[in-house]
Protein backbone atom coordinates (compact mmCIF):
# COMPACT_ATOMS: atom_id res chain seq x y z
CA UNK A 1 0.00 0.00 0.00
CA UNK A 2 1.30 3.40 -0.84
CA UNK A 3 0.83 6.40 1.35
CA UNK A 4 0.69 9.93 0.13
CA UNK A 5 3.89 11.97 0.71
CA UNK A 6 4.05 14.04 3.93
CA UNK A 7 3.31 17.70 3.63
CA UNK A 8 6.33 19.99 3.68
CA UNK A 9 4.63 23.02 5.22
CA UNK A 10 5.77 24.29 8.74
CA UNK A 11 3.71 23.93 11.87
CA UNK A 12 1.57 26.96 12.48
CA UNK A 13 2.92 29.58 14.92
CA UNK A 14 0.54 31.63 17.00
CA UNK A 15 1.63 35.13 17.99
CA UNK A 16 -0.30 36.89 20.73
CA UNK A 17 -0.32 40.64 20.78
CA UNK A 18 -1.61 42.78 23.57
CA UNK A 19 -4.35 45.08 22.56
CA UNK A 20 -3.26 48.70 22.18
CA UNK A 21 -3.85 50.96 25.17
CA UNK A 22 -5.52 54.22 24.80
CA UNK A 23 -3.61 57.22 26.15
CA UNK A 24 -5.40 59.47 28.55
CA UNK A 25 -6.16 62.90 27.34
CA UNK A 26 -3.92 65.62 28.74
CA UNK A 27 -5.67 68.71 29.97
CA UNK A 28 -5.06 71.75 27.85
CA UNK A 29 -3.69 73.73 30.76
CA UNK A 30 -0.95 71.14 31.41
CA UNK A 31 0.11 70.65 27.83
CA UNK A 32 3.61 72.05 27.13
CA UNK A 33 4.21 74.74 24.57
CA UNK A 34 5.64 73.25 21.31
CA UNK A 35 8.01 76.18 20.94
CA UNK A 36 9.52 75.56 24.37
CA UNK A 37 10.13 71.89 23.54
CA UNK A 38 12.04 72.72 20.42
CA UNK A 39 14.20 75.27 22.23
CA UNK A 40 14.96 72.78 25.01
CA UNK A 41 16.00 70.12 22.54
CA UNK A 42 18.29 72.55 20.78
CA UNK A 43 20.01 73.43 24.11
CA UNK A 44 20.96 69.83 25.02
CA UNK A 45 24.66 69.03 24.49
CA UNK A 46 25.13 66.07 22.15
CA UNK A 47 26.50 62.91 23.81
CA UNK A 48 30.13 62.24 22.67
CA UNK A 49 29.43 58.76 21.39
CA UNK A 50 32.07 58.91 18.66
CA UNK A 51 34.84 59.79 21.14
CA UNK A 52 33.92 56.94 23.46
CA UNK A 53 33.80 54.37 20.67
CA UNK A 54 37.05 55.42 19.03
CA UNK A 55 39.85 52.77 19.06
CA UNK A 56 42.25 54.75 21.29
CA UNK A 57 40.34 56.64 23.96
CA UNK A 58 42.27 59.41 25.73
CA UNK A 59 44.18 58.21 28.81
CA UNK A 60 43.47 59.96 32.10
CA UNK A 61 46.69 60.46 34.09
CA UNK A 62 46.62 58.82 37.54
CA UNK A 63 46.54 61.14 40.54
CA UNK A 64 49.92 61.94 42.02
CA UNK A 65 49.99 61.26 45.79
CA UNK A 66 51.06 64.12 47.95
CA UNK A 67 54.48 63.51 49.42
CA UNK A 68 54.60 63.63 53.23
CA UNK A 69 56.40 66.45 54.88
CA UNK A 70 59.94 65.45 55.79
CA UNK A 71 60.59 65.09 59.52
CA UNK A 72 63.50 66.86 60.99
CA UNK A 73 66.35 64.89 62.47
CA UNK A 74 65.72 66.47 65.86
CA UNK A 75 62.10 65.27 66.05
CA UNK A 76 62.98 61.67 65.11
CA UNK A 77 65.80 61.65 67.64
CA UNK A 78 63.47 62.96 70.33
CA UNK A 79 61.00 60.18 69.52
CA UNK A 80 63.70 57.54 69.96
CA UNK A 81 64.78 59.07 73.25
CA UNK A 82 61.18 59.17 74.44
CA UNK A 83 60.71 55.47 73.74
CA UNK A 84 63.96 54.62 75.48
CA UNK A 85 63.38 56.93 78.46
CA UNK A 86 63.07 55.42 81.90
CA UNK A 87 62.08 56.80 85.26
CA UNK A 88 64.04 54.17 87.22
CA UNK A 89 67.77 53.49 87.16
CA UNK A 90 69.72 50.84 89.05
CA UNK A 91 72.62 52.38 90.95
CA UNK A 92 74.07 49.21 92.45
CA UNK A 93 72.87 45.97 93.97
CA UNK A 94 71.19 47.78 96.87
CA UNK A 95 69.79 51.10 95.57
CA UNK A 96 67.83 52.70 92.72
CA UNK A 97 67.22 56.25 91.51
CA UNK A 98 63.73 57.44 90.57
CA UNK A 99 63.54 60.42 88.21
CA UNK A 100 60.36 62.44 87.73
CA UNK A 101 59.00 63.68 84.41
CA UNK A 102 59.67 67.35 83.66
CA UNK A 103 55.91 68.02 83.61
CA UNK A 104 55.58 66.69 87.16
CA UNK A 105 58.34 68.76 88.69
CA UNK A 106 57.28 71.38 91.21
CA UNK A 107 58.68 73.15 94.20
CA UNK A 108 57.90 70.25 96.54
CA UNK A 109 59.28 67.46 94.34
CA UNK A 110 62.94 67.03 93.48
CA UNK A 111 64.17 65.90 90.09
CA UNK A 112 65.37 62.52 91.40
CA UNK A 113 65.11 60.42 94.54
CA UNK A 114 67.44 57.66 95.71
CA UNK A 115 66.01 54.60 97.46
CA UNK A 116 68.51 52.31 99.13
CA UNK A 117 68.67 49.60 101.76
CA UNK A 118 67.27 46.81 99.59
CA UNK A 119 68.66 43.32 100.12
CA UNK A 120 69.28 43.07 96.39
CA UNK A 121 68.27 45.00 93.27
CA UNK A 122 67.87 43.02 90.06
CA UNK A 123 68.27 44.73 86.68
CA UNK A 124 65.67 44.31 83.98
CA UNK A 125 67.53 41.53 82.16
CA UNK A 126 67.96 39.33 85.24
CA UNK A 127 67.16 35.64 84.87
CA UNK A 128 64.63 33.80 87.01
CA UNK A 129 67.38 31.53 88.31
CA UNK A 130 69.38 34.55 89.50
CA UNK A 131 66.37 35.86 91.42
CA UNK A 132 65.77 32.41 92.88
CA UNK A 133 69.34 32.01 94.10
CA UNK A 134 69.24 35.34 95.94
CA UNK A 135 65.65 35.37 97.23
CA UNK A 136 64.00 31.96 97.28
CA UNK A 137 66.86 29.59 97.96
CA UNK A 138 67.43 30.81 101.57
CA UNK A 139 63.71 30.36 102.30
CA UNK A 140 63.71 26.81 100.90
CA UNK A 141 66.75 25.92 102.99
CA UNK A 142 65.00 27.22 106.12
CA UNK A 143 61.89 25.25 105.17
CA UNK A 144 63.83 22.02 104.73
CA UNK A 145 65.45 22.76 108.08
CA UNK A 146 62.07 22.80 109.80
CA UNK A 147 61.26 26.54 109.78
CA UNK A 148 58.25 28.37 108.36
CA UNK A 149 58.87 30.89 105.59
CA UNK A 150 56.81 33.27 103.44
CA UNK A 151 57.51 34.92 100.07
CA UNK A 152 55.23 37.78 98.96
CA UNK A 153 55.22 39.50 95.55
CA UNK A 154 54.05 43.13 95.52
CA UNK A 155 53.70 45.64 92.71
CA UNK A 156 51.24 47.48 90.46
CA UNK A 157 49.04 45.56 88.07
CA UNK A 158 50.86 44.15 85.06
CA UNK A 159 54.34 44.49 86.61
CA UNK A 160 55.18 40.77 86.35
CA UNK A 161 54.43 39.42 89.82
CA UNK A 162 52.69 36.26 88.60
CA UNK A 163 55.47 35.60 86.08
CA UNK A 164 58.07 35.98 88.83
CA UNK A 165 56.23 33.53 91.08
CA UNK A 166 55.08 30.93 88.54
CA UNK A 167 56.90 31.67 85.29
CA UNK A 168 56.28 29.46 82.25
CA UNK A 169 57.50 26.02 81.10
CA UNK A 170 60.54 27.53 79.36
CA UNK A 171 61.26 30.03 82.15
CA UNK A 172 60.00 28.64 85.49
CA UNK A 173 59.45 31.00 88.40
CA UNK A 174 60.05 30.83 92.14
CA UNK A 175 57.47 28.13 92.93
CA UNK A 176 58.48 25.58 90.24
CA UNK A 177 62.16 26.07 91.05
CA UNK A 178 61.44 25.60 94.76
CA UNK A 179 59.55 22.37 94.08
CA UNK A 180 62.48 21.10 92.01
CA UNK A 181 64.89 21.82 94.82
CA UNK A 182 62.66 20.21 97.44
CA UNK A 183 62.18 16.95 95.54
CA UNK A 184 65.78 16.76 94.38
CA UNK A 185 66.84 17.02 98.03
CA UNK A 186 64.27 14.42 99.08
CA UNK A 187 65.45 11.87 96.52
CA UNK A 188 69.14 12.53 97.04
CA UNK A 189 69.34 12.68 100.83
CA UNK A 190 69.77 8.92 101.29
CA UNK A 191 69.07 9.11 105.03
CA UNK A 192 67.46 5.80 106.09
CA UNK A 193 66.47 7.22 109.47
CA UNK A 194 64.27 10.00 108.15
CA UNK A 195 61.05 10.01 106.18
CA UNK A 196 59.38 13.02 104.58
CA UNK A 197 55.94 13.64 103.14
CA UNK A 198 54.93 16.82 101.34
CA UNK A 199 51.44 18.28 101.03
CA UNK A 200 50.34 21.12 98.81
CA UNK A 201 47.30 23.37 99.20
CA UNK A 202 46.24 26.33 97.08
CA UNK A 203 43.46 28.88 97.58
CA UNK A 204 42.49 32.42 96.61
CA UNK A 205 40.88 35.34 98.41
CA UNK A 206 38.63 37.46 96.21
CA UNK A 207 35.60 39.74 96.27
CA UNK A 208 32.54 38.97 94.15
CA UNK A 209 31.00 42.26 92.95
CA UNK A 210 32.18 43.98 96.11
CA UNK A 211 29.99 41.82 98.38
CA UNK A 212 32.55 40.98 101.02
CA UNK A 213 35.55 38.68 100.81
CA UNK A 214 35.45 35.01 99.95
CA UNK A 215 37.98 32.17 100.07
CA UNK A 216 37.94 29.51 97.37
CA UNK A 217 39.95 26.29 97.39
CA UNK A 218 41.81 26.00 94.07
CA UNK A 219 42.30 22.25 94.28
CA UNK A 220 40.48 20.11 91.66
CA UNK A 221 37.51 19.48 93.99
CA UNK A 222 37.80 22.74 95.86
CA UNK A 223 34.90 24.49 97.63
CA UNK A 224 34.34 27.74 99.50
CA UNK A 225 36.41 27.96 102.68
CA UNK A 226 36.21 29.85 105.94
CA UNK A 227 38.81 31.52 108.14
CA UNK A 228 38.82 31.02 111.90
CA UNK A 229 41.39 33.17 113.67
CA UNK A 230 44.39 32.59 111.36
CA UNK A 231 43.52 29.08 110.21
CA UNK A 232 41.76 28.07 107.00
CA UNK A 233 39.01 25.55 107.69
CA UNK A 234 38.05 22.95 105.11
CA UNK A 235 40.87 23.40 102.62
CA UNK A 236 42.19 20.31 100.89
CA UNK A 237 45.81 19.28 101.25
CA UNK A 238 46.99 17.00 98.46
CA UNK A 239 49.93 14.74 99.08
CA UNK A 240 52.60 15.18 96.40
CA UNK A 241 55.21 12.48 95.93
CA UNK A 242 57.10 13.90 92.94
CA UNK A 243 57.63 17.05 90.90
CA UNK A 244 55.16 16.11 88.14
CA UNK A 245 52.28 15.74 90.60
CA UNK A 246 53.07 19.09 92.21
CA UNK A 247 53.30 20.97 88.90
CA UNK A 248 50.06 19.41 87.66
CA UNK A 249 48.25 20.47 90.82
CA UNK A 250 49.54 24.04 90.56
CA UNK A 251 48.56 24.24 86.89
CA UNK A 252 44.98 23.17 87.68
CA UNK A 253 44.79 25.75 90.43
CA UNK A 254 46.02 28.56 88.18
CA UNK A 255 43.34 27.71 85.61
CA UNK A 256 40.68 28.16 88.30
CA UNK A 257 42.08 31.44 89.58
CA UNK A 258 39.99 34.56 88.95
CA UNK A 259 41.44 36.70 86.13
CA UNK A 260 40.10 39.39 83.79
CA UNK A 261 41.30 41.71 81.04
CA UNK A 262 41.85 45.41 81.77
CA UNK A 263 43.45 48.28 79.89
CA UNK A 264 46.65 47.70 81.88
CA UNK A 265 46.84 43.91 81.77
CA UNK A 266 45.14 41.49 79.39
CA UNK A 267 45.20 38.77 82.09
CA UNK A 268 44.96 40.63 85.37
CA UNK A 269 44.75 38.63 88.59
CA UNK A 270 41.60 39.54 90.51
CA UNK A 271 42.47 37.71 93.73
CA UNK A 272 45.18 37.08 96.30
CA UNK A 273 46.62 33.62 95.60
CA UNK A 274 48.19 31.59 98.43
CA UNK A 275 50.17 28.35 97.97
CA UNK A 276 51.28 26.28 100.96
CA UNK A 277 53.80 23.46 100.90
CA UNK A 278 53.82 21.53 104.15
CA UNK A 279 56.54 19.09 105.11
CA UNK A 280 55.62 16.29 107.50
CA UNK A 281 59.00 14.98 108.54
CA UNK A 282 59.67 12.36 111.20
CA UNK A 283 63.14 11.30 112.30
CA UNK A 284 63.46 7.82 113.74
CA UNK A 285 66.29 6.69 115.97
CA UNK A 286 66.91 3.23 117.38
CA UNK A 287 66.69 4.55 120.92
CA UNK A 288 64.46 7.64 120.68
CA UNK A 289 61.44 8.74 118.64
CA UNK A 290 61.14 12.43 117.82
CA UNK A 291 57.78 14.12 117.20
CA UNK A 292 56.97 15.06 113.59
CA UNK A 293 58.28 18.40 112.42
CA UNK A 294 55.68 20.25 110.31
CA UNK A 295 57.16 23.23 108.47
CA UNK A 296 55.20 25.32 105.94
CA UNK A 297 56.56 27.23 102.96
CA UNK A 298 54.02 29.86 101.84
CA UNK A 299 54.04 31.76 98.55
CA UNK A 300 51.65 34.69 98.13
CA UNK A 301 50.97 36.29 94.75
CA UNK A 302 49.09 39.50 95.54
CA UNK A 303 46.89 41.20 92.98
CA UNK A 304 48.47 44.51 91.95
CA UNK A 305 47.13 47.88 93.00
CA UNK A 306 45.07 49.55 90.25
CA UNK A 307 44.18 53.10 89.26
CA UNK A 308 40.79 53.65 87.65
CA UNK A 309 42.13 56.15 85.11
CA UNK A 310 44.75 53.69 83.87
CA UNK A 311 42.78 50.43 83.93
CA UNK A 312 39.46 51.84 82.71
CA UNK A 313 37.59 49.51 85.06
CA UNK A 314 33.87 50.02 85.52
CA UNK A 315 31.04 48.20 87.24
CA UNK A 316 32.07 44.85 88.70
CA UNK A 317 35.72 45.37 87.69
CA UNK A 318 35.81 48.65 89.59
CA UNK A 319 34.46 46.92 92.71
CA UNK A 320 37.22 44.32 92.36
CA UNK A 321 39.78 47.13 92.10
CA UNK A 322 38.48 48.62 95.34
CA UNK A 323 38.92 45.26 97.06
CA UNK A 324 42.45 44.83 95.68
CA UNK A 325 43.52 48.35 96.64
CA UNK A 326 42.02 48.02 100.12
CA UNK A 327 43.86 44.74 100.73
CA UNK A 328 47.15 46.29 99.58
CA UNK A 329 46.58 49.27 101.86
CA UNK A 330 45.87 47.08 104.92
CA UNK A 331 48.92 44.93 104.16
CA UNK A 332 51.07 48.06 104.06
CA UNK A 333 49.59 49.38 107.30
CA UNK A 334 50.47 46.13 109.05
CA UNK A 335 54.09 46.32 107.93
CA UNK A 336 54.35 49.98 108.90
CA UNK A 337 52.93 49.23 112.33
CA UNK A 338 55.46 46.41 112.78
CA UNK A 339 58.30 48.77 111.84
CA UNK A 340 57.17 51.42 114.31
CA UNK A 341 56.83 48.80 117.04
CA UNK A 342 60.37 47.56 116.42
CA UNK A 343 61.72 51.10 116.60
CA UNK A 344 59.85 51.75 119.84
CA UNK A 345 58.85 48.54 121.65
CA UNK A 346 56.81 50.57 124.11
CA UNK A 347 54.50 51.58 121.28
CA UNK A 348 51.68 49.03 120.95
CA UNK A 349 51.40 47.00 117.78
CA UNK A 350 48.24 48.11 116.01
CA UNK A 351 46.04 45.24 114.90
CA UNK A 352 45.43 46.36 111.34
CA UNK A 353 45.47 42.73 110.24
CA UNK A 354 41.85 42.37 111.37
CA UNK A 355 40.67 44.49 108.43
CA UNK A 356 41.17 41.88 105.67
CA UNK A 357 41.18 38.11 105.29
CA UNK A 358 44.67 38.09 103.77
CA UNK A 359 46.28 39.90 106.69
CA UNK A 360 44.33 37.82 109.20
CA UNK A 361 45.73 34.67 107.60
CA UNK A 362 49.28 36.10 107.58
CA UNK A 363 48.95 37.45 111.11
CA UNK A 364 52.03 35.78 112.60
CA UNK A 365 54.24 36.97 109.74
CA UNK A 366 52.93 40.53 110.01
CA UNK A 367 53.65 40.48 113.74
CA UNK A 368 57.28 39.54 113.11
CA UNK A 369 57.01 36.05 114.59
CA UNK A 370 57.93 34.25 111.36
CA UNK A 371 60.35 34.87 108.49
CA UNK A 372 58.94 36.82 105.53
CA UNK A 373 60.57 38.09 102.31
CA UNK A 374 59.12 40.69 99.92
CA UNK A 375 59.71 40.95 96.17
CA UNK A 376 58.89 44.35 94.66
CA UNK A 377 58.05 44.34 90.94
CA UNK A 378 58.45 47.81 89.42
CA UNK A 379 57.85 49.54 86.08
CA UNK A 380 60.64 51.55 84.45
CA UNK A 381 58.73 53.59 81.84
CA UNK A 382 58.15 57.32 82.19
CA UNK A 383 54.40 56.85 81.88
CA UNK A 384 54.48 54.54 84.94
CA UNK A 385 56.22 57.04 87.21
CA UNK A 386 53.20 57.47 89.50
CA UNK A 387 52.83 53.73 90.18
CA UNK A 388 56.56 53.21 90.70
CA UNK A 389 56.90 56.23 92.97
CA UNK A 390 53.94 55.17 95.12
CA UNK A 391 55.27 51.65 95.65
CA UNK A 392 58.81 52.79 96.47
CA UNK A 393 57.57 55.38 98.95
CA UNK A 394 55.34 52.79 100.56
CA UNK A 395 57.71 49.82 100.64
CA UNK A 396 61.16 51.33 101.12
CA UNK A 397 60.72 51.70 104.92
CA UNK A 398 59.92 47.97 105.15
CA UNK A 399 63.55 47.19 104.39
CA UNK A 400 64.37 48.23 107.96
CA UNK A 401 62.13 45.55 109.48
CA UNK A 402 64.18 42.90 111.25
- State the binding site: 155-162
3-state secondary structure of 133: helix
C-alpha distance across the termini of the chain, in Å = 135
Q: How far apart are CA 379 and CA 392, in angstroms?
A: 11
Binding site, annotated residues for ATP: 155-162
Q: How far apart are CA 325 and CA 346, in angstroms?
A: 31
What are the φ/ψ torsions at residue 372 (nearest 5 degrees)? Answer: -135, 140
**Neighbour count for residue 383 (Cβ, 10 Å):** 11
Residue 111 in contact with residue 105, Cβ under 8 Å? yes
Q: How far apart are CA 378 and CA 156, in angstroms?
A: 7
**Cross-strand pairs, 300:** 152, 274
Q: How far apart are CA 113 and CA 89, in angstroms?
A: 10
The number of residues in the chain equals 402
* Cα atoms in the 13 Å half-sphere on the side-chain side of 362: 33
3-state secondary structure of 284: strand
| CA neighbor of 362 nearest in space, from 305, 301, 298, 303 | 298
DSSP for residue 288: -
**Beta strand pairing call for 224-228 and 293-301:** unpaired
Amino acid sequence: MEFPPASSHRAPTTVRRNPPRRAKQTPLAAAPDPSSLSSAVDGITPFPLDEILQPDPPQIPPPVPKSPEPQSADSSENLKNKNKSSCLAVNDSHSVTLSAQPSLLDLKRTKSEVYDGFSFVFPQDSLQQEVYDKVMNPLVLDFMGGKNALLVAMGPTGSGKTHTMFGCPRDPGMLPLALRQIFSHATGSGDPYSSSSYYLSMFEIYSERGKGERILDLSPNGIDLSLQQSTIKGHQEVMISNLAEAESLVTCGMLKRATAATNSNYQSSRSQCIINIRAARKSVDDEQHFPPNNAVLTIADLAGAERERKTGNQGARLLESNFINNTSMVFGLCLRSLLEHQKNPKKPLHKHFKNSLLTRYLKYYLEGKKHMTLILNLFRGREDYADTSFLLRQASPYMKIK
